Structure 1
């Protein structure tokens, strides 16, 4: 019975160590989000390459949002 308990404790400890080891997972999540943003910006810029009105509207919207946050 003692041997079985020791094996259980070892397996539980190893499993807990694997579950708790999340150091790199948050970094990977942020890299994934950044990749999606870069791809979206690339697609938008390619789609509206000759149209400056769209870019001007986006800049005005972001400027408005930033001004509202600052107040």
Structure 2
């Protein structure tokens, strides 16, 4: 019975401890997030006629108005 339990435990835990490819998946997720953020920023900047400095100034003004 003890040997059976050890074999069952081993068969159950080996796939759980297998972390091959996990780091690659994390890097792919990070790259996808970066591309998404850059796409959103580029769309926000391209549709406005003002410069990036004006956009940042407006954002800071709105934040300071909210805070008080």
TM-score of the superposed pair, with normalisation by structure 2: 0.62
Corresponding residue number in structure 1 for 2:51: 53
Stretch deviating more after TM superposition (44-53 or 27-36)? 44-53
Q: Runs of 5+ in structure 2 lacking a partner?
A: 54-68
Aligned residues: 52
Match of 1:14 among 11, 14, 23: 11
| Off by >4 Å, runs of 4+ in structure 1 | none
By relative contact order (CA 8 Å, sep 6+), the higher-ranking structure is: 2
Corresponding residue number in structure 2 for 1:43: 40
How large is the RMSD of aligned CA atoms in angstroms? 2.0
